[in-house]
Amino acid sequence: AIPSQDDMIDGLYNRIYHLIIQFIMENPTSIEYAHKLEWAVHNVERSADRVINICEWVVYMTTGEYVEIASGSVTMQL
């Protein structure tokens, strides 16, 4: 379930990023505010990526095999 949730967060980040760009274009004097908002959204997206990393380490610690989790799928790495 976690990889698909990460994909959902990535999609939300992309949508919000484009909305922020649109906001900047319409409100050029609010760049500082928009930048802070984009930075916050970026950190949420990176947090979701970190959760994927934690899941990979849990799989490794329990199985001894490195498994890369990406794009809603699980692939084995040699």
Query: pTM for this structure?
Result: 0.75
| Pairwise CA distance, residues 22 & 16, whole Å | 10
Task: Please report the pLDDT score of residue 24 as a whole number.
Answer: 96
Q: Provide the pLDDT for residue 67.
A: 87
For the cut 70, the answer to whether the pLDDT of residue 58 exceeds it is: yes
Fill in the amino acid letter for 48. Answer: A
**What confidence score (pLDDT) does residue 74 get?**
45
For range 59-74, the mean pLDDT: 81
Query: Could you tell me which of 72, 69, 75 has the C-alpha nearest to residue 55?
Result: 69
